[in-house]
């Protein structure tokens, strides 16, 4: 049985969570764009480089979905540690998808930045 997310009465909390979820897939793709990483390494990388706190319960379902969609490739590698690790890397399709996502992100961010600047001018 799946647990339903806890509803919050705070609209700002809901907005923050939606924003976080929207950017998390992009953050994960960026974390494996330059070098393959295993799940816990992705979590650590995101936390150390961006202060994003991501749990295993969040990241592995996303990685599974990205793998099934062909955007990310996964490979078990053994020999480095006592236990094999599943490493994730962008596929060729994933590189194209990441490029499109970054274009969209930059365009959207530019529009929001413009609105913020405009709102700031109106308050003066």
Q: What is the pLDDT of residue 73?
A: 98
Domain assignment present for residue 5? The answer is no
> What's the structural domain count of the chain?
1
| pLDDT, position 3 | 58
Q: Which residues are paired to 15 by β-bridges?
A: none
Q: Does residue 89 lie within any of the structural domains? A: yes
Angle between helices 56-68 and 39-50 (to 10 degrees): 120
Domain span at 46? 12-123
- Each residue's pLDDT expressed in tens, for the chain with a length of 124 residues: 555 555 556 889 999 888 888 899 999 999 999 999 999 999 999 999 998 889 999 999 999 999 999 999 999 999 878 889 999 999 999 999 999 999 999 999 999 999 999 998 765 5
Tell me, yes or no, whether 86 lies in a domain: yes
Task: Give the pLDDT score at 116.
Answer: 93
Q: What is the pTM of this model?
A: 0.82
- Nearest to 38, CA basis, from 65, 69, 59, 53: 59
In this predicted structure, what is the pLDDT of residue 121?
A: 72
- Whether 56 is covered by a domain: the verdict is yes
Is residue 3 one of the residues assigned to a domain? no
**Is 7 among the domain residues?**
no
Domain for residue 4, yes or no?
A: no
Beta-carbon contacts of 90 under 8 Å, excluding residues fewer than 6 positions away, are 29, 32, 33, 71, 72, 73, 98
CATH of the domain at 112: 1.10.10.10
Whether 81 maps to a domain, the answer reads yes
Residues 97 and 115: their CA atoms lie apart, in Å, by 27
- Are the CB atoms for 62 and 28 separated by under 8 Å? yes
Q: Is 43 exposed, middle or buried (0-12, 13-18, 19+ CB in 10 A)?
A: buried
């Amino acid at each position: 049985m799946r647990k339903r997310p806890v509803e919050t009465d705070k609209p700002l909390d809901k907005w923050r969570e939606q924003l976080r979820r929207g950017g998390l897939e992009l953050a994960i793709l960026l974390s494996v764009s330059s070098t393959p990483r295993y799940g816990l390494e992705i979590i650590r990388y995101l936390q150390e480089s961006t202060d994003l706190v991501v749990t295993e319960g969040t990241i592995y379902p996303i990685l599974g979905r990205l793998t099934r969609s062909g955007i990310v490739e996964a490979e078990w590698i053994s020999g480095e540690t006592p236990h094999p690790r599943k490493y994730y890397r962008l596929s060729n399709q994933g590189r194209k998808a990441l490029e499109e996502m970054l274009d969209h992100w930059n365009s959207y961010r530019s529009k929001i930045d413009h609105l913020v600047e405009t709102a700031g001018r109106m308050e003066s």
